[in-house]
Amino acid sequence: EKNDKDVKEEMHKKEDCKPAVFIPVDRLPEIQEARLRLPILAEEQVIMEAVREKECVVLCGETGSGKTTQVPQFLYEAGYASSGGIIGVTEPRRVAAISMSHRVATEMNLPSGVVSYQIRYEGNVTENTKIKFMTDGVLLKEIQKDFLLQKYSVVIIDEAHERSVYTDILIGLLSRIVPLRNKKGLPMKLIIMSATLRVEDFTENKRLFRTPPPVIKVEARQFAVTVHFNKRTPVDNYTGEAFRGILVFLTGQAEVHSVCRRLRKCSLNVQNIQFLIFLKCPYYSQSLSQSLPRINLDSYSALPVDEGDEDRQAGIDDNDNEGSDLELGDHPDKEKADPSIPLYVLPLYSLLAPEQQAKVFSPPPTGARLCVVATNVAETSLTIPGIKYVVDCGRVKKRFYDRVTGVSSFKVTWISQASANQRAGRAGRTEPGHCYRLYSSAVFGDFSLFSEAEITRRPVDDLVLQMKDLNIEKVVNFPFPTPPSSEVLISAEQLLISLGALEEPPRRGRLGEMERARLSCPITPLGRAMAAFPVAPRYAKMLALGRQQGCMPYIITIVAAMTVREIFEDYDRPAGSEEENTKMAGKKARCVQMRRLWAGQGQSVQLGDLMVLLGAVGACEFAGCTHQFCEENGLRYKAMLEIRRLRGQLTNAVNAVCSDAGVYVDNKMAPPTASQVLCLRQIVLAGLGDHIARRVQAEELLDPKWRNGYKTPLLDDPVFIHPSSALHKTLPEFVVYQEIMETTKMYMRGVCAVQAEWIPKLLPQYCHFSAPEESPAPWFCPLSGRVKCHQQSTFYRVSWKLPAIEM
């Protein structure tokens, strides 16, 4: 019955190492008890001594060992927040920043004004904040305002193993900031926390830390997790496999029989056995998880288990396909489904509404067994209490980005061994657990050891702009934990130069000199303004141009909607019953109809998918942005709320950059006029200029693959306007697009029609000017990948004003 204070004082007495200060925390006894069981508590002294002695400490401990919730508390108690400084903690995910701040506030019995969070759109930070959880992007923005981060006495970089781009950059920056602070007599500590032991990229990197920081390991897994591999060779149809996996789990194959017995035994003895099922990730797993509540594992677990009884397995499969049962405790065949516990199935993925996400933390209904079907969100950032079984499909859905062509695609790939072990580890938190891997040990052996850093997989133009704004001119020399290739850096600088955010490098000199100059272009005033907007440079450019003809509120809305993931509900997911299918088809039809309505008429149709976004947001806000409106019109409520917040934030940013802008958020915004639509299209063209495409010409049509296709400067193959696009029927000659997603074909997303004669005026850097008789209209030069224009289109790049609109 010792309270925390006693324990700690005793510990310090015994070890004769009293901390300089000790700020008592008044925790509830049950909280205290739970804390004392966390492995990290045993390491508190070692950690705090290292922190006191060194500028930077690396802390490794498996997920659930208590890093995120406890280390800030250790620091608080040791007085790191008692003399004015804040303890800052960065998380790569918003969900984690919010939920961890709540948890730590609860554990410490302190209000949210003291243990607070800040994410892109919102936060509850006050003057009294002592511990601040935030997304890594938020801290990066703060560095732009105060390079020395003087508010903070400690910065904890959490989940460093995820290697998110901002986390990597922060570590690079902090490796310089911390010594600077200490040199100036403003002591500061850096703690890097990782769930894996692979920290060499931080510790062994001489560019980062001259003397490697100490690495403290926390022995974490409380209970053993038995790993069961699939003995069959995996098939490509992995969802079928996962689906089947759950069935196999309880019906078929030899290794699964033993599970079944164990499970049945458990289900008699233990009330709350819980599953955590990892399926693919992170974007569209809804479809799969939503089809899962239809399975009732227990009706199978109660069946007599006969090894190799294939017929029965088939029968069971059929039974499930009919979607029998599904209410809790309501079994289709009570005789067969004997002493079983109904499954309480909850999906968990990042696009899920927050209140749905929070459900996994509450205990399931009495007598039911929780089964969480999750994406990577549950891999490291969130720890669901009491999981005993994990079913791991071994795959992850990742966004891939072709650095040459800029084409994005989501691909399902194998996870790394580190991820697989993370997932397995989730089963052993409260008692010994089991992990069922839906792949063989041979396949596991072929997995890469660790996931690669995000920075090597995505464009870096936003980062380069942020760094230039921090006056880091030679971005190549930046101490990246894993540096992006110089080719990626060059193309980022090139884009920023074309957008006018960086000064143009001299065109004279020897080749090597020119190359070098190209990699150290200073930022322009326009670039500074763009860096102040929390969106990618192309969108920032649009905002910077938005002050024409009253277009700013529209541009803010379009940019907000373009940067929020998926504003429309996905009605193409596989539904279940006939009835559900009909309902879904009805909703889809309604959604298609609404999109047509939002696309408007006359001029506005030319703004294409961006007009649809504008119309959707306008209509939704006009109706008060209610859950009901979104539900009825096929909009994702969470996305609409995010757009609302982002509009507010961008409006503030515009007013801050340009004090006389005087923009405000108008929820009863009238649709843009015809001349505003023209202006908006030009602004969009100026921002998305390198994403231009031209409908194919007659000669290319000889090859049928080019039918209805578009040519882009960099791709050899045609790209297409998606059937769901507002411009699908119109097929304008020139369009710009938000991005190309490769699914069945290469489709442009976010398409807007532009006019040929604007191109030389707005995008001279992409044009080759030729004699008038050569070509009457702009055209693509296949060799240079550039747009050719005739000479009459002269252009003087004196200001960023748009050309006059011809009515």
Q: Determine the angle formed by the axes of helices 608-622 and 552-563, rounding to 10 degrees.
A: 100
Minimum gap (Å) between residue 650 Cβ and Mg ion: 31
- Binders of ligand ADP in range 651-710 (CB under 6 A): none
- Nearer to ligand ADP among residue 62 and residue 569 (C-beta): 62
- Nearer to Mg ion among residue 67 and residue 189 (C-beta): 67
Q: In the chain, helix, strand, coil percent, each to 5?
A: 40, 15, 40
135 binds, among Mg ion, ligand ADP, none (CB under 5 to 8 A by kind): none
64 binds, among Mg ion, ligand ADP, none (CB under 5 to 8 A by kind): ligand ADP
| Burial class (CB within 10 angstroms; exposed 0-12, middle 13-18, buried 19+) of 132 | buried
State yes or no: residue 99 binds ligand ADP (CB under 6 A). Answer: yes
State yes or no: residue 293 binds ligand ADP (CB under 6 A). Answer: no
State yes or no: residue 101 binds ligand ADP (CB under 6 A). Answer: no
DSSP 206: T
Q: How many residues interact with ligand ADP (rule CB under 6 A)?
A: 15
Amino acid code (one letter) for 270:
V
Beta strands 395-401 and 407-414, pairing class: antiparallel
What is the contact mask toward ligand ADP in residues 377 to 416, using x (rule: CB under 6 A)? ------x-x-------------------------------
Query: How many helices (H) and strands (E) are present in the chain, helices listed first?
Result: 28, 23
Minimum gap (Å) between residue 108 Cβ and ligand ADP: 13
361 binds, among Mg ion, ligand ADP, none (CB under 5 to 8 A by kind): ligand ADP
- Nearer to Mg ion among residue 155 and residue 678 (C-beta): 155
State yes or no: residue 167 binds Mg ion (CB under 5 A). Answer: no
> Closest CB to Mg ion belongs to which residue?
68
Reference 685, options 547, 788, 803, 600; nearest CA is 803
User: First and final CA of the chain: distance in angstroms?
Assistant: 81
SS3 of residue 343 by DSSP:
strand
Reference 229, options 448, 392, 431, 422; nearest CA is 392
Minimum gap (Å) between residue 475 Cβ and ligand ADP: 32
Beta strands 225-229 and 433-437, pairing class: parallel
State yes or no: residue 361 binds ligand ADP (CB under 6 A). Answer: yes
State yes or no: residue 425 binds ligand ADP (CB under 6 A). Answer: no
Q: How many residues interact with Mg ion (rule CB under 5 A)?
A: 2
99 binds, among ligand ADP, Mg ion, none (CB under 5 to 8 A by kind): ligand ADP
Interface pick for ligand ADP out of 103, 312, 359, 588 (rule CB under 6 A): 103
Taking residue 2's Cβ as centre, other Cβ atoms within 10 Å add up to 11
C-alpha 79/C-alpha 423 separation (Å) is 35
Minimum gap (Å) between residue 18 Cβ and ligand ADP: 26
Amino acid code (one letter) for 45:
Q
103 binds, among Mg ion, ligand ADP, none (CB under 5 to 8 A by kind): ligand ADP
**Listed ranges 57-65, 405-413, 474-482, 734-742: which one lies at the site for ligand ADP (CB under 6 A):** 57-65
Question: What letters, b where the CB count within 10 A reaches 16 and e where it falls short, cover 698-710?
Answer: eeeeeeeebeebb
Taking residue 19's Cβ as centre, other Cβ atoms within 10 Å add up to 17
332 binds, among ligand ADP, Mg ion, none (CB under 5 to 8 A by kind): none
Interface pick for Mg ion out of 68, 272, 296, 419 (rule CB under 5 A): 68
Q: What is the token pair recorded at 629?
A: 């409106």
What is the contact mask toward ligand ADP in residues 58 to 97, using x (rule: CB under 6 A)? ---x-xxxxxxxx---------------------------
- Nearer to ligand ADP among residue 33 and residue 566 (C-beta): 33
Reference 690, options 740, 644, 643; nearest CA is 740
550 binds, among Mg ion, ligand ADP, none (CB under 5 to 8 A by kind): none
Reference 755, options 695, 807, 673, 681; nearest CA is 681
Minimum gap (Å) between residue 780 Cβ and ligand ADP: 52
Reference 274, options 501, 494, 435, 77; nearest CA is 435
Interface pick for ligand ADP out of 38, 611, 639, 751 (rule CB under 6 A): 38
C-alpha 481/C-alpha 661 separation (Å) is 40
Strands (E), 199-244: 215-218, 225-229
61 binds, among Mg ion, ligand ADP, none (CB under 5 to 8 A by kind): ligand ADP
All residues at 6 or more sequence positions from 752 whose CB lies less than 8 Å from its CB, including other chains:
606, 607, 608, 609, 610, 681, 684, 685, 688, 727, 735, 736, 737
Minimum gap (Å) between residue 643 Cβ and Mg ion: 29
**Listed ranges 62-70, 140-148, 288-296, 597-605: which one lies at the site for Mg ion (CB under 5 A):** 62-70
- Nearer to Mg ion among residue 27 and residue 67 (C-beta): 67
Residues near ligand ADP, by CB under 6 A: 38, 61, 63-70, 99, 103, 361, 383, 385
Residues near Mg ion, by CB under 5 A: 67-68
